Amino acid sequence: MLRYYVDLALRSLRRDKVLTVLMVLALALGIGASITTLTVLRLLSGDPLPQKSSQLYYPRIDPNPRNGYIEGQTKPEAVMTYVDAMNLLNAHRAKRQAAMALMQAKVAPLRAHERPFYSDGVMTTSDFFTMFDAPFQYGGGWTPTDDANRAQLVVIAGFLNDKLFGGANSVGKTIRIEDHDFRIVGVLKDWSPQPRFYTQELGGRSYGDGEAVFLPLAAARAIDITPNSVNCFASVSDMKHLETQPCMWLGLWVELGDAAAVASYKEFLAGYANQQQSLGRFQRTETDLPDLMQWLRDEQVVPDDVRLQAALAFGFLLICVVNTVGLLLAKCLRRSGEIGVRRALGATRRDVFVQFMVEASMVGLAGGLLGLVFTELGLWGVRHQPAQYASLAHLNIEMFLFTFVVALVASLIAGLLPAWRACVLAPAPQLKAA
């Protein structure tokens, strides 16, 4: 029976070529726009470390003066002073913990005729690589002893290794960073979790390439490398020695294995804030411990424009569906005579209803196929935009299948009203009119 309906639908669609093309085109445009924006939205709101994100937490405390504090509204600060970051780090209350700041680093070329260049970098502590599951191509990270000794060691990204050493194992070699020698201890594989969760509030991008060099925090600060972002909450006398100033410039991440560890760390953090208050260092004791995904939500890392685009695209899809309802209805009413004949020859209302729904879903499938073409076109357009996330915009298998789900659902909704109108037509008057 279904084959007969498909055959009928094809005949009917072929009879009104212009109308069919209009319906398919409108539906495809709506689907193309929606799936394009939805793909981008999903990519941008994705999980940067799916296997680890639920165990990573970002402690927040608030060293600001009392002035300007509103109970219940003021959130704790997003970055820490050196003193607080080191206090929390050295307490070792989490399974792993690392403090970090972003920086710009001048890297000297190895060949004589080339010019030095600037690269993005991270200054951090030893747990960084194991805590974030950063994969190594050669070598590994540095040790806590190296942190304490201000050892001039560096982990470089795969792309920098390709650029400087042609991809060969460079562990043990030395490169000049900010006019100082650093010995390479590890080379990372391609690693750039998206969104760039640990760069938030530290003066980095939200999406895009990862950093090229990773230096021990103490070693980097010993040669006066300045962090990208510094936020001071009281008068500063000396910008060179940030460690002693009332300035926030470090992010601290901790790894907590289970709910009990989270609860005890929360307690520890609250205790720390209270202790600092009684010492007279803090005037606000609010703390927060968001996990990775919550932190990204708090930061509203997905750009407003992307969310607006998605909302707009679905508004557009709605218009396209209404449009398809109208055109399908027009077609179906024009075929009142044919329906009358089929009803008179014994087709039930259900048969007529199913027939029209089959026709609608054929339009939907065609719309979905063409919509896929429009989606690829749209994503190609996104890739050529100047946005940070441009290069990420690709269709994955999930969204590929979802396109057809959207197309079918949209067309079936569009087909409901016309099919219902068709099946309630009384056959007799139609036959007479013909």
Partner 1 sequence: MEIRPVFASLRKHRIPAMLIVLEIALACAVLCNAVSMIGQRVNDVRLSNAIDEQGVAVVSVDGNNPALIASDIPRNLAALRGIAGVQAAAVVSTLPLSHNNWGWSFGLTPDSLLTDKDTTNISMYFLGQGGPEALGLQLLQGRFFNGDEYAGSALNGSPLPSTHVAVVTRRLAEQLWPGQPALGKTFYSKPYAYTVVGVVADVLRPSVNATNVYQSAFFPLSGDASLSHYVLRSAPQDRDRVVREAEQKLADLDGTTVAKGVSYEDIRTRYFANTSSMAWLLVLVCVVMLAVTALGIVGLTSFWVGQRRRQIGIRRAVGASRGHIRQYFQTENFVLTTAGVVIGMGLAFVLNVYLMRHYEMRMMPWYYLPAGAIALWLLGQLAVLGPAMRAAAVPPVVATRSV
Q: Which helix (H) or strand (E) holds 433?
A: helix 427-433
Asked whether the beta carbons of 127 and 89 are under 8 A apart, the reply is no
Nearer Cβ to partner 1 (135/315): 315
Q: How far is the CB of 224 from partner 1 (least distance, A)?
A: 8
Check residue 366 and report its DSSP letter.
H
Q: How far is the CB of 312 from partner 1 (least distance, A)?
A: 6
Nearer Cβ to partner 1 (173/205): 205
Q: How many CA atoms lie within 13 A of 432 on its CB side?
A: 4
Nearer Cβ to partner 1 (263/322): 322
Nearer Cβ to partner 1 (125/245): 245
Question: How far apart are the C-alpha atoms of 55 and 381, rounded to whole Å?
Answer: 37
Q: How far is the CB of 111 from partner 1 (least distance, A)?
A: 13
- Tell me the two tokens of residue 244: 């002693």
Q: How far is the CB of 292 from partner 1 (least distance, A)?
A: 24
Angle value at C-alpha 165, between 163 and 169, nearest 5 degrees: 130
Nearer Cβ to partner 1 (67/145): 67
Nearer Cβ to partner 1 (41/94): 41
Nearer Cβ to partner 1 (148/428): 428
Q: How far is the CB of 299 from partner 1 (least distance, A)?
A: 15
Residue 383, CA distances (Å) to 77, 192, 263, 299 in order = 35, 18, 43, 24
Nearer Cβ to partner 1 (150/307): 307
Angle value at C-alpha 226, between 154 and 63, nearest 5 degrees: 115
Helices and strands in the chain, H and E counts? 14, 11
- Tell me the two tokens of residue 420: 């219902």
| Residue type present at position 6 | V
Q: How far is the CB of 119 from partner 1 (least distance, A)?
A: 11
Question: How far apart are the C-alpha atoms of 306 and 81, rounded to whole Å?
Answer: 33
Q: Which residues pair with 138 in a beta bridge?
A: 187
Question: Which residues are near partner 1 by CB under 8 A?
Answer: 19, 22, 25-26, 29-30, 33, 64-65, 67-68, 104, 106, 108, 115-118, 178-179, 232-240, 303-305, 307-309, 311-313, 315-316, 318-320, 322-323, 325-327, 329-331, 333-334, 385-387, 417, 421, 434
Q: How far is the CB of 310 from partner 1 (least distance, A)?
A: 11
Nearer Cβ to partner 1 (6/341): 341
3-state secondary structure of 284: coil
Q: How far is the CB of 253 from partner 1 (least distance, A)?
A: 25
- Tell me the two tokens of residue 159: 């792309």
Which is nearest to 321 in space by CA: 423, 420, 409? 409
State the residue for tokens 């901790």: 254
Q: How far is the CB of 314 from partner 1 (least distance, A)?
A: 10
User: Peptide bond preceding 59: is omega within 30 degrees of 0, i.e. cis?
Assistant: no
